[in-house]
């Protein structure tokens, strides 16, 4: 049977080349091939999750890397999913393309209450494949060739490749840490944008700014004053705002999450993005949503109808039931949105204490289920760790830590542009949305590490 060049390549990669007779040497075929990769993918092939999730799986280390809970979603959500699978047979079929009717209705009710805005379920809500899906649609639908998109560093890494894949140009502005000081732990709230620097990034070509509060990886919750500075600039320069709020329930120490869309004049220019995976501790359900004015959302619907068209019906039904419960219990002690942050604050504090025992300096996160820790003292003691050419120090450090100390984290330089990576290569990110047994396993590893340091 004849095999196509791509099949031959796959077989040869699998080490089964002897099974097939090549008509011509492989390198000749490759030479003849047209440019394979679409140019818009240039510079977007590296991905920290692919690399570090693989490393975590290959090593028997305590996984505090990627952001997912290792405990079950709440029982009411799991039961809702079971019901959706075993109940109404029509839930096995397509539902409305832009969102299952009961789900868009409850999302409109729930978020309308929070945003103090009357939301039309059919025109102001779009259900997507996770928050990733919502982000992708936003960039594809609204960013054009040559448009500039302002991204606040550190940033959830996909904003940069998504801007580039849409033909846009990312323009970065970094949150600045306060000067280092000994003693008291710093808070993520101490990291600030310089308003003048931010203002200097807006040009006539600026199409949008991406904000993420609470911020992954830093855990910063933007204050009303900080959001107002951003909102003023958006209004002044007629700029859109993509507001990634997937961690909106996860805020600690009496912090309050504020949606930028709720500020005067911002609803009309803002897309507010959420994730059922983060909201109900079910990242594998991969369901998200985007809220916004019809004048923006209609273009995201165009991308959706011409690409994925639809999200899984049963997952949408289960998320609908979960939100129905949360709307009923809104603000009450039994609400999952009240209980989860309470439980996570304890886990955060546990991790903050543990990491300090070996001289790591964590930054106290105001929100999310991540914290970053300063590894400068290790960088001074062990400046030359193995790694590939040009690899950032924090990435080498994490690889060393996985192999030698049995702990997985994520290098924070992965959340910075290439220009800034060098300045922020002395932090690593840990995830604390973990069972207490996982945190205890972390403690064992840290105790061993402490002994090694004292030896």
Q: For binding to ligand IK2 (CB under 6 A), which residues are involved?
A: 66-67, 130-132, 156, 212, 216, 244, 246, 275, 277, 283, 288
Q: How far is the CB of 27 from ligand IK2 (least distance, A)?
A: 39
- Residue 419 burial (CB count, 10 A): 10
Q: How far is the CB of 65 from ligand IK2 (least distance, A)?
A: 7
Say which residues have a Cβ less than 8 Å from residue 242's Cβ, sequence separation at least 6: 135, 138, 139, 208, 209, 210, 211, 270, 271, 273
For ligand IK2, the closer CB: 263 or 414: 414
Q: How far is the CB of 316 from ligand IK2 (least distance, A)?
A: 14
Q: How far is the CB of 273 from ligand IK2 (least distance, A)?
A: 7
- By beta-carbon distance, which residue lies closest to ligand IK2? 130
For ligand IK2, the closer CB: 156 or 378: 156
For ligand IK2, the closer CB: 127 or 239: 127
Q: How far is the CB of 94 from ligand IK2 (least distance, A)?
A: 21
Q: How far is the CB of 9 from ligand IK2 (least distance, A)?
A: 31
- Residue 225 burial (CB count, 10 A): 8
Please answer whether residues 276 and 282 qualify as being in contact, where contact means their C-beta atoms are separated by less than 8 angstroms: yes
For ligand IK2, the closer CB: 67 or 102: 67
For ligand IK2, the closer CB: 102 or 367: 367
CA-based max dimension of the chain: 71
Length of the chain (residues): 455
For ligand IK2, the closer CB: 29 or 55: 55
Please answer whether residues 280 and 319 qualify as being in contact, where contact means their C-beta atoms are separated by less than 8 angstroms: yes
For ligand IK2, the closer CB: 147 or 245: 245
For ligand IK2, the closer CB: 248 or 354: 248
Q: How far is the CB of 169 from ligand IK2 (least distance, A)?
A: 21
For ligand IK2, the closer CB: 285 or 393: 285
Q: How far is the CB of 389 from ligand IK2 (least distance, A)?
A: 26
CA pair distance 113, 263, nearest whole angstrom = 14
Q: How far is the CB of 429 from ligand IK2 (least distance, A)?
A: 8
Q: How far is the CB of 296 from ligand IK2 (least distance, A)?
A: 18
Buried/exposed code over 337-358 (b: 16+ C-beta within 10 A; e: otherwise): beebbeebeebbebbbebbeeb
Please answer whether residues 149 and 126 qualify as being in contact, where contact means their C-beta atoms are separated by less than 8 angstroms: no
For ligand IK2, the closer CB: 42 or 58: 58
For ligand IK2, the closer CB: 275 or 316: 275
Q: How far is the CB of 266 from ligand IK2 (least distance, A)?
A: 19
């Amino acid at each position: 049977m004849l095999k196509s060049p791509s099949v031959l390549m796959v077989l040869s990669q699998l080490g089964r080349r002897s099974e097939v007779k090549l008509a011509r040497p492989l390198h000749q075929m490759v030479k003849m091939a047209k440019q394979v990769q679409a140019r818009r993918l240039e510079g977007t092939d590296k991905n920290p999750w692919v690399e570090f999730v693989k490393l975590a799986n290959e090593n028997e280390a305590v996984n505090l890397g990627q952001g997912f809970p290792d405990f079950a979603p709440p029982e009411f959500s799991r039961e809702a999913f079971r019901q959706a699978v075993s109940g109404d047979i029509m839930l096995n079929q397509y539902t409305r393309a832009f969102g299952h009717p009961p789900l868009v209705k409850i999302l409109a009710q729930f978020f309308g209450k929070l945003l103090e805005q009357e939301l039309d379920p059919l025109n102001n809500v779009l259900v997507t494949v996770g928050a990733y899906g919502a982000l992708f649609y936003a960039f594809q639908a609204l960013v054009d060739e040559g448009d500039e998109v302002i991204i606040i560093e550190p940033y959830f890494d996909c904003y940069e490749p998504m801007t580039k894949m849409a033909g846009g140009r990312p323009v970065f502005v970094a949150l600045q840490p306060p000067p280092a000081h000994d003693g008291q732990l710093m808070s993520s709230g101490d990291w600030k944008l310089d308003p003048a620097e931010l203002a200097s990034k807006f040009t006539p070509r600026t199409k949008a700014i991406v904000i993420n509060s609470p911020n992954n990886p830093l855990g910063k919750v933007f204050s009303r004053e900080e959001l107002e500075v951003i909102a003023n600039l958006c209004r002044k320069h007629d700029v859109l705002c993509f507001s990634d709020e997937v961690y909106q329930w996860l805020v600690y120490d009496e912090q309050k999450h504020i949606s930028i869309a709720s500020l005067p004049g911002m609803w009309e220019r803002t897309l507010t993005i959420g994730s059922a995976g983060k909201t109900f501790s079910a990242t594998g359900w991969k369901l998200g949503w985007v809220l916004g004015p019809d004048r923006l959302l209609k273009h995201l619907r165009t991308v959706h109808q011409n690409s994925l068209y639809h999200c899984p019906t049963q997952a949408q039904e289960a998320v609908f039931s979960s939100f129905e419960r949360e709307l009923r219990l809104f603000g009450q002690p039994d609400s999952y949105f009240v209980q989860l942050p309470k439980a996570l604050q304890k886990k955060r504090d546990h991790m903050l204490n543990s990491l300090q025992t070996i001289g790591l300096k964590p930054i106290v996160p105001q929100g999310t289920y991540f914290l970053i820790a300063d590894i400068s003292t290790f960088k001074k003691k062990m400046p030359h760790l193995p790694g590939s050419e040009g690899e950032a120090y924090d990435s080498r450090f994490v690889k060393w830590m996985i192999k030698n100390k049995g702990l997985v984290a994520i290098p924070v330089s992965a959340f910075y542009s290439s220009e800034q990576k060098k300045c922020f290569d002395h932090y690593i990110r840990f995830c604390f949305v973990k069972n207490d047994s996982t945190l205890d396993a972390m403690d064992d590893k840290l105790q061993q590490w402490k002994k090694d340091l004292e030896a």
